[in-house]
Amino acid sequence: MDKTTKLHEDLASIRNIMERSNKFLSLSGLSGILAGTFALSGSLAAYFLVYYPHSPFGFRVRYVNEREVVFQLLLLAALVLIASLTSVLFLTIRKARKKGHTVWNKSSRRFLLNLLVPLLTGGILVLALISRGYLMIVAPACLIFYGLALINGSHFTYSDVRYLGYLQIALGLLCAFLPGFGLIFWALGFGVLHIVYGSLMLYKYE
Amino acid sequence: MQLDDFDKAFENRVRLQVMSVLVANESYDFVDLKELLGVTDGNLASHMKALEKEAYVEVQKTFKGRKPLTTYLATDKGRTAFEKHLGALEKLILQQKN
């Protein structure tokens, strides 16, 4: 082998291995788009449940504090969550396999741990709030904790994830000042932002 | 050509990669390293022995449940040597460009 090529290959391999040794780079962009689509569909269903036939900016037909409505909304949210997680998992595993990388390794474990600590904290807190009837804090709290989780996890994956986190937090805080528009912020954060982010990732890295 | 800083211990690419992982991370264990680099047990073990002999890496053997867990860390000597080697690589490339 030519000596210069070997030098260049040495350097390239160092850069690649260093990055992969502490960052999980198999996250699929397509799954972001799918998760966003599920979130938008979920929001639409929630709109029909709560507002229809009024506009989402107007009066509610049903009050969210009715037990039955809360239960239906929770079920809907759980469905969206399961569909999103399944597609993220499936497409991420597929992407890793295609690149010949493992999925369950040191960097993916680190990424997950860092993501899950704020995420589960927020999730459990939100469930506690729901059970005690503080419903108006649910939408902003979900967005804010999700944003914090993304920023925390971003150290161990594509750094672009951090900007998604900042935007989710900004939306969450804004939402906290504008009670009654939770569903719209939710659709923007979990729906639109995910689709935009997923498309950018798809374009940039795949 | 300046070959004084060129470290013989890093001539092999696997060793170079191992060192770059250990410099970028607090520590890394044997199994994770093996998977990351895509090498065999025996291959990695022999390269780790060589790096150990140079005192570039430090080994910690513990148990995770019943399984033995071998963890590696870069020593200060190893870090310095690696940085020096990288510097030498850069210089070589610059010289060849001109």
Share of chain A above pLDDT 70, in %: 95
Minimum mean pLDDT range among A92-96, A140-144, A176-180? A176-180
Q: If pLDDT is split at 50, 70 and 90, which confidence band does B2 have?
A: low
Does residue B71 sit in helix, strand or coil? strand
In this prediction, what percent of chain A has a pLDDT beyond 90? 61
What is chain A's mean pLDDT, rounded?
A: 90
Q: Could you give the CA distance from residue B72 to residue B60 in angstroms, rounded to a whole number?
A: 6
pLDDT at residue number A7: 79
pLDDT at B58 over 70: yes
Q: Residue B15: its pLDDT value, please?
A: 93
Q: A22 CA to chain B: closest CA distance, Å?
A: 7
Shortest Cα–Cα distance, A7 to chain B (Å): 7
Residue B1 has pLDDT above 50, yes or no: no
Q: Please answer whether residues A111 and A24 qualify as being in contact, where contact means their C-beta atoms are separated by less than 8 angstroms.
A: yes
- Section A86-109 average pLDDT: 91
Cβ atoms within 10 A of the Cβ of B96, count? 12
Is there a contact between A18 and B35 if contact means CB atoms under 8 Å apart? no
Query: Residue B3 pLDDT more than 70?
Result: no
Residue B40: pLDDT over 70: yes
The per-residue pLDDT for B65 is: 86
**Closest Cβ–Cβ partner in A11, A14, A102 for B35:** A102
Distance CA A59, CA A44 (A): 16
Confidence band of B14 (pLDDT split at 50, 70, 90): very high
Residue A1 has pLDDT above 60, yes or no: no
Amino acid A65: pLDDT: 65
Pairwise CA distance, residues A137 & A125, whole Å = 10
Please tell me the least confidently modeled range out of A38-42, A123-127, B76-80, B92-96. Answer: B92-96
* A11 with B89: Cβ contact below 8 A: yes
CA distance to A139, A151, A174, B52, per residue, from A171 (Å): 10, 15, 5, 52
- The mean pLDDT value for A26-38 works out to 95
Tens-place pLDDT, residues A151-192: 999 999 998 999 999 999 999 999 999 988 899 999 999 999
| Confidence class for position B11, pLDDT limits 50, 70, 90 | confident
Confidence of residue A64 (pLDDT cuts 50, 70, 90): low
Q: How far is CA A27 from CA A156, A181, B13, B78, in A?
A: 11, 31, 28, 33
> Most B CBs within 10 Å: which of A106, A108, A109, A111, as the mutation test of the B interface?
A106
Instruction: Give the least confident one: A2-11, A85-94, A97-106, A128-137.
Output: A2-11
Bridge partners, residue B57, by sequence: B74
Q: What is the pLDDT of residue A16?
A: 85
* Count of CA atoms in the C-beta half-sphere (13 A) of A159: 2
Q: Note whether ipTM > 0.85 here.
A: no
Q: Which residues contact B43 (CB under 8 A, 6 or more apart)?
A: B14
- A4 contacts B89? CB cut-off 8 A: no
Residue A125 has pLDDT above 80, yes or no: yes
pLDDT of residue A87: 95
Q: In which band, very low, low, confident or very high, does the pLDDT at A62 lie, cut at 50, 70 and 90?
A: low
CB contacts < 8 Å between A and B, how many? 47
User: Which of chain A's residues have a Cβ under 8 Å away from the Cβ of B17?
Assistant: 13-14, 17
Contacts of residue B38 in chain A, CB cutoff 8 Å? 100
Please provide the DSSP assignment of B12-23 as one string: SHHHHHHHHHHH
Chain B CB contacts of A14 below 8 Å: 16-17, 20, 86
Contact between A22 and B25 using a beta-carbon 8 Å cutoff: yes
Which residue in B has a C-alpha nearest to residue A14's C-alpha?
Answer: B17
